[in-house]
Chain A
Amino acid sequence: MSVDSVFVHKMWNDHELSKMVEGGVPYPMLSDGGGNIGKLYGVYDEDAGVETRGRFIIDPDGIVQGFEVLTPPVGRNVSESIRQVKAFQLVRESKGTEATPSGWKPGKKVLKPSPDLVGNVWKEWKVSEAFDE
């Protein structure tokens, strides 16, 4: 979503993005002329008249589970967004009985919060697991 018109979206997709991604952008490229939706989400930059790099994870009930907002010159980390979605999906499937520690990714240890775990995370989980290697 950006303040560009759908016509500009078409030009960008057809003339540039489709040369990087086969078949072009697979999801809807939304247009928010005037930035009204950006204002609703708190990512509209009034001074520049554009939206910042905001990314929102919305669950199947329409609840915002997380967001990240960057200034224009720094691109996002797509893998990190996907990791977060997977973590939220795991928590949802466990009906909130499981939690994903720092640095979790699929296959890594999850924690089951309980009275017994209070003060005992150090026995279950090591700081090294927060990192990729």
Chain B
Amino acid sequence: MPEDFKPGCQRPPVKKPAAAGESAPAAAKEEVQGMIKVGKPAPDFTAPAYWKGKFVNINLSEYKGKWVLLCFYPGDFTFV
């Protein structure tokens, strides 16, 4: 039977499929995720967005000349 879980802000960790296809060298896939540095350029990106009833592509560099607050969050409907 599937197990119940309580909805929370924290998504339950994704269980990685165990050992099944453990052929690829594990070390190769570990990407190093660097942290941003203050005083350095923000990495540019283009991303789809929902904005005022429309779907648009947003490019960060279009916001040069403006102050930008870029906010990430765990997911829609995550309560807080």
Contacts and interface: CB of A to CB of B under 8 A. Distances in A.
A13 to B, nearest CB: 6
B69 A57 contact: yes
Contact of A16 (B44, B60, B61, B77): B77
Interface in B29-52: 31, 33-45, 47-52
Interface of B: 8-14, 31, 33-45, 47-52, 55-56, 58, 60-61, 63-78, 80
Nearest to B71: A55
16 contacts: A1-B73, A2-B73, A9-B49, A12-B76, A32-B72, A42-B36, A43-B72, A48-B13, A50-B74, A57-B69, A58-B60, A60-B64, A63-B40, A72-B11, A73-B8, A85-B69
Given A31-B48, A49-B11, A9 B71 contact: no
Nearest to B68: A58
B69 A75 contact: no
Contacts of A4: 75-76
Nearest to A84: B69
Contacts of A43: 72
Contacts of B70: 1, 41, 54-56, 58
A65 interface: yes
Given A9-B76, A41-B72, A64 B48 contact: no
A133 interface: no
A10 B50 contact: yes
Contacts of B9: 72-73
Interface in A1-20: 1-4, 6, 8-13, 16
A125 B17 CA distance: 58
Contacts of A62: 41-42, 44, 60-61, 63-64
